[in-house]
Structure 1
Amino acid sequence: MSQLQLGLIIAGAFVLLGVVLQNFWLARRNRPRQGTPSVFGPHDELANLEPTLNEPGGDGFALPVSEKKPTLDALIDVIAPIALETPVTGEALLAAMPPTRRVGSKPFTIEGQTQGQQRWEFPVAGRSYTQLQAGIQLANRSGALNDIEFSEFVMKTQTFCDIVGGTPDFPEMRQEISRARELDQFAGDHDAQLSFVLRARRAAWSASYIQQTAAKLGFVPGSIDGRMVVPASQAGLPPVLSLSFDAQAALAEDPTQSALREVSLVLDVAQVDRNERAFERMREAALTLAQEMDGLVTDDNGVALPNEALDVIGSELAHLYDTLAQRELAAGSALARRLFS
């Protein structure tokens, strides 16, 4: 073999090696970013991070005792007082309750007061009630109370009263339907659900990488696969923020092999107390995740959101918070959570 032939063989080997190395580098660069290996299995890790109502949700968000269940309020409910000739036991009231606590798309409830009691409550066994009231919500995200729902409310309440020996006093239907439409119009004009989308610039992300990166910012696994949340500072309340990605990737046998190119950050404004500083935390989380994961923050349509656009959104939200508070429907309050649900 001549020196020329040997040289060509060696040169060809180097070229081939270069092609192999380049392909390896490209494959490594483009494969999904991976999280740090864990001692847990892919699903065990999530199970151990799942919060309970009485446990901290992570990263300094204490979860104290949950607030008491909200009662009917004339601001967002139709209320029908029920007169009783004699006190009725909680057991009798519970036995007479209708099988469902909804009329159409609206929550329906019966409440009572014991002698000398100052607040209304859902009937409890072992107590005797001297006053009752029935109520149905005027509006929610399904729309305003309509004529059919009002009529069903009347029939359901009357059936209950016939069993317990009560006499209901129903408000005038047309007036309540008018109130429902006005409240629904207000709610529709002031309902804000913000959504940011974080999109990968180059390499995709694995589900485990997203989970571990988000966990550093206080996100914990939610009750739905592919969803993480920042818990509220009070137990039982809606989360401050939620982060979601493809549920199938979260359910994969090996979540490190999934290839995801976007995640969503969502804030349901009316559900979260203003003192939680939800938008500020959403903005900070989005920008931090973008930096850590080499991503771009956009709106739902893929349009990039620069700081100037985020400033405008923050200013508009401040005005929205003020408007809700002036209407006695402050964001995060029991009434706001019921209306915007």
Structure 2
Amino acid sequence: MNELQLSLLGLGVIAILLVVVYNRWLERKYRKTHDPEPEVPTPLDEMAIGERQEPSWDGADPLPTRGDVEPGARIGDDDPSAGAIPEPLPALSEVEAWVDAIATLRFYEPRTAGSIRDTITQMGAGRFDRIECYTGDAWHQVDKLPVEALVSNIRCRLQLATRRGAVAPDALHEWMRAVESLAQVLSAGLSVESESKILERATNLDAFCARVDALINLNLRARETATVGLDIAATLTDLGLYGTYPAFARLSASGEVDFQIVADDAQGMLSLTLDYPHVNRPDLVVSEMLALAKTLAVSLEADIVDDAGRALDDNGMALLAHQVVRLSAALQAQGIEPGSLLARRLFA
């Protein structure tokens, strides 16, 4: 190697070092001169409101209680400064990559989780919806890592649809700008789909959800209105349901709601409702709900009717059960298991 080549090589090394130092200087300058931006609502809160009716329990009704069911521990209770690396997130599935828009940021050299969290806080954490970090050969939620953990990649995720509809174009645009700004501030390489492709995926996802979503509902209409009230409450409690009049629920072994039962004194009605995407093995649960309806119809001297007040015989109830089986199969065909965390957040 001659003297000219050595000189050129030395100049190249110096140029690279200058670029790295300049990027670090820009980052420090940004942090010192920019106050934290006020957090804006999470993009999911800005989703377009669809015309579908969201199956949900009326917030005015009391929630069911179950004395022997312990509430699950909150992940957020972990102290990220404790130093221990938390349990990693499950591997990203193909269906999650369909449900979420994903932007990947790659660092040229690792950064600490603490410095990344500080930057995200300064920029406004609500702009990013969900952020995960890659460290120790696994992905973790950014707020669960100890401050000194070294991170080589960041994954920003935005859910593309809920029961309220597909993500709004403005919300997606704001998320994209936030991700691009984060990559610039952290001097990271960015990989993400175009907005047009993401919006197309969101529209297709929302259309699929609308096709497979349903609220399974049937009613018991008392022949004598005197049977409603405390008599119903005592009967439901004896049958192992939880809650206080007029709202009850049948709970699973893990304490999750299988189906809901709400009494309407004014109409002399008792409504049984199954939100099947939120339930494990909805094919079994709907059969148990129908069996309970028959038991209650006998004990309360009531007729089983649909929402239009038409009588439901065994054939009609069999059609309801078949509908649940068919819709569950369509959901599973796309890799979404009813009752899973993914199904719960998609049909929220």
Q: Give 1:63-74 correspondences, 5 Å limit.
A: 73-74=96-97
Are 1:230 and 2:250 matched, yes or no? yes
Aligned to 2:344: 337
Are 1:185 and 2:199 matched, yes or no? no
Match for residue 322 of structure 1 among 325, 329, 348: 329
Closer, same or farther: CA 180–139 of 1 in aligned 2, 3 Å = same
Q: CA deviation at 1:198?
A: 1.5
Closer, same or farther: CA 165–231 of 1 in aligned 2, 3 Å = farther
Closer, same or farther: CA 226–83 of 1 in aligned 2, 3 Å = farther
Give distance in 1, aligned partners of 2:277 and 2:269: 25
Give distance in 2, aligned partners of 1:340 and 1:303: 29
Give distance in 2, aligned partners of 1:226 and 1:70: 40
Closer, same or farther: CA 116–199 of 1 in aligned 2, 3 Å = same
Unaligned runs of 5+ in 2: 1-61, 76-86
Q: CA deviation at 1:325?
A: 1.1
Unaligned runs of 5+ in 1: 1-45, 58-62, 247-257
Give distance in 1, aligned partners of 2:137 and 2:235: 54
**Deviations, residues 176-199 of structure 1 (Å, cap 9, x unaligned):** 111111111111011011111121
Give distance in 1, aligned partners of 2:235 and 2:226: 14
Answer whether contact 1:196 1:297 (CA < 8 A) is retained. yes
The amino acid that maps onto 2:113 is: G
Percent identity over paired residues: 24
Are 1:142 and 2:164 matched, yes or no? yes
Closer, same or farther: CA 64–287 of 1 in aligned 2, 3 Å = farther
Match for residue 123 of structure 1 among 143, 155, 159: 143
The 4+ residue runs of structure 1 with deviation greater than 6 A are: 63-72
Give distance in 2, aligned partners of 1:327 and 1:91: 37
Aligned to 2:101: 78
The TM-score, its normalising length taken from structure 2, stands at 0.67
Q: CA deviation at 1:334?
A: 2.4
Closer, same or farther: CA 160–122 of 1 in aligned 2, 3 Å = same
**Deviations, residues 218-238 of structure 1 (Å, cap 9, x unaligned):** 21128xx73221223335xx4
What is the Cα-based RMSD across aligned positions, in Å?
3.2
Are 1:195 and 2:217 matched, yes or no? yes
The amino acid that maps onto 1:88 is: R
Q: CA deviation at 1:93?
A: 3.6
Alignment size in residue pairs = 268
Closer, same or farther: CA 66–230 of 1 in aligned 2, 3 Å = farther
Are 1:56 and 2:69 matched, yes or no? yes
Closer, same or farther: CA 311–149 of 1 in aligned 2, 3 Å = same
Give distance in 2, aligned partners of 1:143 and 1:74: 18
The amino acid that maps onto 1:140 is: T
